[in-house]
Amino acid sequence: MIVAEELVKEYESGGTFRAVDSVSLAVQRGEVVLIIGPNGSGKTTLLSMLGGLVRPTRGTVSVDGRALHEMPERELEHFRLTRVGFVFQTFRLLDALTPRENVQLVLDLAASRHDADAILARTGAAHLAHRRTSALSGGEKQRVAIARALANDPAILLADEPTGSLDAAAGEATIALLSDAARRDGRAVVIVSHDTRIVPHADRVLHMNDGKLSNF
């Protein structure tokens, strides 16, 4: 499903800084992979490369056999739009839009005919559809954000600290939704987090330190 081989990401900043160092990883459909590690260990950079947001300095990433690192920018945009769902620690909802409109926006971008209300209902956010996004609680926002991430029925779901800004109950609900996305829908789910509550829900837990990935 997701196959990364010998991924390296280097940044030039008064010298060469290697954020991700020769990481190889394979994530299957229906699998939840949790990557834990300290701040600055390269987790988010790895997630960005898996989602086609950042191009690797070296190495390869492919999803369903399609090589992301070779895609031109417009193709990569289309790939993100149709194949990847992102969940962020700070939700990244557009406050200018209602929750329903946030979901509909992705559907419109992808010219999809899926029903925004039904998608919101799946994450338990149907009652929030027409509320002001900025007035929602963290847990409510994350439900909407997951709905948006699922809007285009993506093959892979990438979550960056999805419970980082949530209280315990909202965190549990978020974990359940992500887990459900893998178990029920057969998506490949990669979660980057410090939150050890996620460990029992993960099929595999990997540890990242100084840009290197190892089994926990």
Residue 165 exposed, middle or buried by CB count within 10 Å (0-12, 13-18, 19+):
middle
Among 64, 77, 115, 210, binds other proteins (CB under 8 A): 77
Q: Is 45 helix (H, G, I), strand (E, B) or coil?
A: helix
**Radius of gyration of the chain from Cα atoms?**
17
As measured in angstroms, the least distance from the Cβ of 199 to other proteins is 22
Q: Does 81 bind other proteins (CB under 8 A)?
A: yes
Query: Binding string, 133-162, against other proteins, x = CB under 8 A?
Result: ---------------x-----------x--
Output the smallest distance, CB 124 to other proteins, in A.
22
Indicate whether 110 belongs to the interface with other proteins (CB under 8 A): yes
Q: Is 203 in the site for other proteins (CB under 8 A)?
A: no
Contacts of 67 (CB under 8 A, 6+ apart): 60, 61
CA atoms of 36 and 198, how far apart (whole Å): 10
Pick the closer one to other proteins by CB: 140 or 160: 160
92 vs 184 by CB, closer to other proteins: 92
Contact 26, 64 (CB under 8 A): no
Find, among 161, 215, 212, the residue nearest to 41 by Cα. Answer: 212
* Region 3-62 residues binding other proteins, contact defined as CB under 8 A: 44, 47-48, 51, 53-54
DSSP at 86: E
The region of 61-69, 105-113, 181-189, 197-205 touching other proteins under the rule CB under 8 A is: 105-113
Q: Is 199 helix (H, G, I), strand (E, B) or coil?
A: helix
Q: How many residues bind other proteins (CB under 8 A)?
A: 32
